[in-house]
Amino acid sequence: MQGLLLTALVVLAALAAAISPAGAADTSCKSTGTLDVLPLHAPIGVNHEVKFALRPDFQLERLVPHSLSFHVGTPAGPRDLPGGDDTLGATFTAPARGAYSVTAHWQLRSCDDPSVTGDEHAGPVTFRVYPERRPYARFRTSIVPGRVAHTKAPIFSVDYVCPPDTLAKAEPIQLTLWYTVGRSKRPTRSSAQARELYPKGCATASAIPPKSRSFPWGELQGARIGVLPGRTVRVLGEVKSGSKLIGAVRLRFEPRGDGETIVRDRGSCRGGCAKRIYKY
């Protein structure tokens, strides 16, 4: 009896092995994919580039040429973008802030019969687009304001800090430093000046390095000034992004004891004088 049972099990196993290849082919013939919105972990700004990319689980030779497309839902209405057969992606510029969604569509040839095609999709994936942001002004000194530098000329510079480049506003940034020598006059926008210009703003790492200029009282290099001990120089610094003033401050270099210090100066600033000054 046990022999007959063993024989029956062997026959059933052989039958299962005979029919399993078709089932195995079905499970290994994947048709899915994952849709990514790039950049993955950064805020996206209006007028900035968004990339859509399909990561396939299927064999690329099964993709029907020119069948990949991306359907994008935007606050300004839907848009359809063709996807590249080689890149499996598309590039899109966000037209407005708000909520977005994207779905990828493509066609695949059947694993069993290449003449048969089927529709596939991935998504929708949602993301948000935010208003572009300007940089913020940063004013820096080599000493804490009010303290004294005894052996070196203290330095003050006009600077700025960019937001993430995925939402930074692409407009020129201008750093300007007006100055007067002596205590009698505070600087105005008609005073002597030093300037740095970044034509593409936060899209560029640096401007053309400004040349240094030396004076009996100290040195200028772009929007950076150093004053020798024993001299008084009054300074107005401003940062503009495009046509908008984003920060200003007034400072005064003056002798103190056997050294030189930096203190806040009298006078107003357009939009108010900056409350914080950073140390190098």
For residues 126 and 166, state if they share a domain.
no
The residue behind tokens 């993709």 is: 63
Q: Which of 86, 104, 130 is the last residue of a domain?
A: 130
Inside any domain, residue 121? yes
- Domain with residue 106: its CATH number is 2.60.40.10
**Average confidence score pLDDT of the chain:** 88
For residues 125 and 257, state if they share a domain.
no
For residues 265 and 142, state if they share a domain.
yes
Residue 108 pLDDT exceeds 50: yes
For residues 255 and 230, state if they share a domain.
yes
Provide CB contacts within 8 A for 54, sequence distance 6+.
33, 34, 35, 36, 68, 83, 88, 89, 104, 106, 122
For residues 58 and 41, state if they share a domain.
yes
For residues 85 and 207, state if they share a domain.
no
For residues 268 and 144, state if they share a domain.
yes
Cβ atoms of residues 226 and 200 within 8 Å: no
For residues 63 and 149, state if they share a domain.
no
Q: Which domain holds residue 52?
A: 30-130
Tell me the per-residue pLDDT of 32-62, one tens digit each, with 9 for 90 and over: 999 999 998 889 999 999 999 999 999 999 9
For residues 98 and 201, state if they share a domain.
no
The residue behind tokens 């806040």 is: 264
Q: Which of 105, 130, 155 is the last residue of a domain?
A: 130
For residues 217 and 247, state if they share a domain.
yes
Q: How confident is the model at residue 11 (pLDDT cuts 50, 70, 90)?
A: very low
Tell me the per-residue pLDDT of 177-233, one tens digit each, with 9 for 90 and over: 999 999 889 999 999 999 999 888 887 655 667 789 999 999 999 999 999 999 999
Report pLDDT for 96: 94
Q: Which of 111, 130, 149 is the last residue of a domain?
A: 130
Q: Which long-range contacts (CB under 8 A, 24 or more apart) does 88-93 make?
A: 88/53, 88/54, 88/55, 88/56, 89/51, 89/52, 89/53, 89/54, 90/51, 90/52, 91/49, 91/50, 91/51, 91/52, 92/49, 92/50, 92/51, 92/52, 93/47, 93/48, 93/49, 93/50
Based on the structure, what is the number of domains in the chain? 2
Inside any domain, residue 15? no
pTM of the entire predicted model:
0.75
For residues 154 and 208, state if they share a domain.
yes
For residues 121 and 42, state if they share a domain.
yes
Tell me the per-residue pLDDT of 162-184, one tens digit each, with 9 for 90 and over: 999 899 998 999 999 999 999 88
